[in-house]
Amino acid sequence: MSFLTKVRASNPLVHNITNIVVANFSANGLLALGASPFMADAHEEVADIAAMSGAVVLNIGTLNDYAIESMLLAGKAANRHNVPVVLDPVGAGATAYRTEVTHKLVSHMQITALRGNVAEVAHVLGKNWSIKGVDAGAGDGDVAALAVQAALKLKCVVIITGKEDVVTDGTATFVIRNGHPVLTRVTGTGCLLSAVVGAFLAASGGAWLEAAAEALSFYGVAAEIAEERTRLQGPGSFQAEFLNQLALVTPEVYAARSRIQRLEQ
């Protein structure tokens, strides 16, 4: 059974502490997929919610000290209850605050999957990569090698997205060649992807790497079909159709279009 089928069958509760830009899009994307979103950051309840969830997704996109404490409380509770934690270090490297907060989060909890653009992951490792606000700039490093290094350092699955996506646990590495450039014209497509990874991890039974690879490929397939159906329109129509496709893409359609390649190391 595909992880997509497992997500839809189990309707996992996904606890999100996320940014103000993407909260609605992320909740709608999770619902379309077949997961159950819960957006909450009050200190009084985040540990309880994390403990009852299938996954916790932490996103520092519009961070502040209150939300960071919420993330620490939720992440530690998730660790105590064996709930997988996804971290999206939005804009790590863009400011010292974001870089420091990211380091604090990864040192106070065990992350299950780190998902970012190449610049963000490079800065988590203390390496330089050009970054413009929350977007990765151009660079010519070895992205797969960077992901492996991060995975070994953080002892987690690392996902670096862009034109091609790379996912690794430090031992096995996959490249995913699905998706479409129009995804870069809609804000929050990276953030929603991190939440979707959370839903797949929740339904994975601990097969983190394989579930993450399928999440990336499925997401890209949904984007490809949405783009085909809205080609003569703009990013607004694409965004709506993309939500439709997160709900409509079947395991069979996914399997026919999925482009996942295992890299030799």
Which residues does the annotation place in the binding site for substrate?
39, 188
Q: Say how far apart CA 208 and CA 84 lie, in whole Å.
A: 9
Looking up tokens 């450039």 gives 181
220 binds, among Mg ion, ligand ATP, ligand TZP, none (CB under 5 to 8 A by kind): ligand ATP
Torsion region of 230: left, alpha or beta (phi above 0 gives left; psi -120 to 50 gives alpha): alpha
Chain residues 169-198 in contact with Mg ion, contact rule CB under 5 A: 184, 190
Per CB under 6 A, 23 contacts ligand TZP? no
**Residues 208 and 169 sit within 8 Å (Cβ to Cβ):** yes
Binding string to ligand TZP for residues 170 to 189, with x set by CB under 6 A, is what?
-----------------xxx
Binding string to ligand TZP for residues 48 to 67, with x set by CB under 6 A, is what?
-------------xx-----
252 residue type, one letter: E
253 binds, among ligand ATP, ligand TZP, Mg ion, none (CB under 5 to 8 A by kind): none
Chain-centroid distance, C-alpha 102 = 15
Q: Given candidates 180, 208, 215, 217, which one binds ligand ATP under the rule CB under 6 A?
A: 180
- In angstroms, give the least distance from the CB of 18 to Mg ion: 11
**Residues 59 and 90 sit within 8 Å (Cβ to Cβ):** yes
Per CB under 6 A, 29 contacts ligand TZP? no
Helix, coil or strand: residue 159: strand
The residue among 137 and 206 lying less far from ligand ATP, judged by its C-beta, is 137
Looking up tokens 């609605």 gives 24
**Residues 59 and 32 sit within 8 Å (Cβ to Cβ):** no
106 binds, among ligand ATP, Mg ion, ligand TZP, none (CB under 5 to 8 A by kind): none
Per CB under 6 A, 165 contacts ligand ATP? yes
**Number of residues in contact with Mg ion, rule: CB under 5 A?**
3
Tokens matching residue 112: 């299950």
Dmax over CA atoms of the chain, in Å, equals: 49
Per CB under 6 A, 220 contacts ligand ATP? yes
237 binds, among Mg ion, ligand TZP, ligand ATP, none (CB under 5 to 8 A by kind): none
The residue among 190 and 220 lying less far from Mg ion, judged by its C-beta, is 190
Q: Say how far apart CA 62 and CA 178 lie, in whole Å.
A: 28
Please identify, among the stretches 78-86, 183-191, 225-233, 251-259, the one whose residues bind ligand ATP according to the rule CB under 6 A.
183-191
HSE of 231 in the Cβ direction (CA atoms, 13 Å)? 4
Q: Given candidates 124, 183, 203, 246, which one binds ligand ATP under the rule CB under 6 A?
A: 183
Residue 52: other Cβ atoms inside 10 A: 12
**Residues 203 and 10 sit within 8 Å (Cβ to Cβ):** yes
List residues binding Mg ion (CB under 5 A).
Answer: 90, 184, 190
List interacting residues with ligand TZP (CB under 6 A): 19, 21-22, 61-62, 90, 134, 187-191
